[in-house]
Amino acid sequence: MPKETLPLEQPPATLQRTAGPFVAICLVIANVIGAGIYTTPGFLARDLGSPFAVLSIWIIGAILALAGALSYSELGAAYPEAGGEYIYFREAFGPLWGYLSGWTSFFAGFSAPVAAASIGFAAYLSHFAPQVGPGRVLGTIPLGGWALQITAGQIVALAAVWALSFAHITGMRRGGQLQILLTVAKVASIAALIVLGLWLGNGSWNNFQSGPEGLVPPGAMRNGAISLIFVLFSYSGWNAAAYIAGEVRQPHRTLPVSLLTGTAIVTVLYLGLNTLFLYGLGISGMSGVLQVGEKAALAMFGPVAGDLVAAMMALSILASASAMIVAGPRVYFAMALDGLFPKRVAAIHPRYGSPAVAIVCQGVWSSVLILSGTFEALIVYSGFVLVFFSALAVAALLVLRVRRPELPRPFRVPLYPWTPLLFIGFSVWILLYTVWGRPIEASLGVLTVLLGLPLYFYWTRKAR
């Protein structure tokens, strides 16, 4: 884009508080609901073996997500600044931990999921237009001893990333309106599917009857740990509103309301979808099915369901990518203000008031990942450290209660300290299970974080 069309103000500058609670709630909902809810229930049905156990584990996951949301509500109200975990780590543990969380967010935490979501959007769009599918190769670019293959799906993914990025460069007011539109359409389509499926779809309430092994079969006790990990990953993203704390009006009220309301709405939709899947397929029909959403819709509505599910998934993924394009750049913006990222990244667009350079930087790196195809590995590797950083952020709440008792806290976590300890305890359990079951992915995730250390010392030395 020519320089005159994107004039930028040099820091110091501040983001304007133009976002209301509805934008923040939509950000949470869009960030959480992705492809996971349409794919994991089949594995849960296989491993748990009863309708009661399947629905119960989603409720347990919701309780843990709400415990995390309550903890982030106190932190966000106490530190109403853009950046989320970066700010909490900086205040509780020092700038090094803040930098490492921000580095991971840029390298893999946001950029890689944006890239993956954009490729997923192209894949579902190809259901209606096969010529733009990821399998259609447009050409090959030789790069020394390596050839870069360009597909139609990559072009569509790049177009999606940059269309959303430029939409959010126009500011939180306009970008927020887009996010509201995408999220409302997403929620409305899911709600319509649930209501129409239970009302008019071909299913049976007899599918909710327990089998001969009772409400909680023995297999559910053995496989409950693995199943809960699937559920918690499906709930991940409930903390999205914390990243725009510097742009919401009345953050001491808006952040708790948005985090808790968004998580509650997601919980209702998740329980509704699982009820729908059980109604349409039953435990045996769901068991082990990856595309359980598509199969359930096909069973209840017939062949037209393929188009319905493809459109819903495309919309759902696009809304998720949009939410991550909003949240991620606020972390890099906060790091640049502290001198731990190039100063230019802290520039604010003088007309739109957005962290435009930070948004562009994330878009560039997401584009590189789309073209290289390495984003899938990055997501696997980063999963371990993202859970670690979420647990560490909640632990920051405990540390700050001790170290900063005088800090104004407009919102306080109920049932303290048991609420944050519940979240931390389950997170530690997931981390230990991952180390035991997936040592390579866990090690590569830690390595991803440690690669940021040389850059941290470079930036701190440059700041001095």
- DSSP H helices in 302-374: 305-337, 356-372
pLDDT for 384 equals 72
Asked if residue 11 is part of any domain, the answer here is: no
CATH code of 127's domain: 1.20.1740.10
CB atoms within 10 A of CB 347: 21
Q: Which residue has the higher pLDDT, 372 or 74?
A: 74
Residue 126 lies in a domain: yes
Is 352 inside a domain boundary? Answer: yes
Tell me: the pLDDT tens digits for 190-211?
999 899 889 988 888 888 887 7
Tokens of residue 42, six digits: 């089949």
Helix 111-125 / helix 152-169 crossing angle, nearest 10 deg: 120
171, part of any domain: yes
* pLDDT value of residue 143: 67
Q: Is 85 exposed, middle or buried (0-12, 13-18, 19+ CB in 10 A)?
A: buried
6 within domain boundaries: no
CB 448 within 8 A of CB 375: no
422, part of any domain: yes
**Residue 8: inside a domain, yes or no?**
no
* Interval 350-365: pLDDT, tens: 888 889 999 999 999 9
Q: Are 219 and 49 in contact (CB under 8 A)?
A: yes
Residue 402 banded pLDDT, cuts 50, 70, 90: very high
- Tokens 């769901």 — which residue? 286
**Would 251 be classed as within a structural domain?**
yes
Considering its fold, how many domains does the chain have in total? 1
Burial of 1 (0-12, 13-18, 19+ CB in 10 A): exposed
Give yes or no for residue 251 having a pLDDT over 80. Answer: yes
Total Cβ atoms within 10 A of residue 131: 7
pLDDT at residue 174 in the model = 86
- Tell me: pLDDT of 149 over 80: no
Q: How far is 112 from 212, CA to CA, in rounded Å?
A: 45
Average pLDDT value for the chain: 83
6-460-17 Cα angle (round to 5): 40
**Residue range(s) defining the domain that contains residue 49:** 17-406+413-463
CA distance to 86, 106, 153, 456, per residue, from 90 (Å): 6, 17, 40, 13
Neighbours of 416 (CB within 10 A): 15
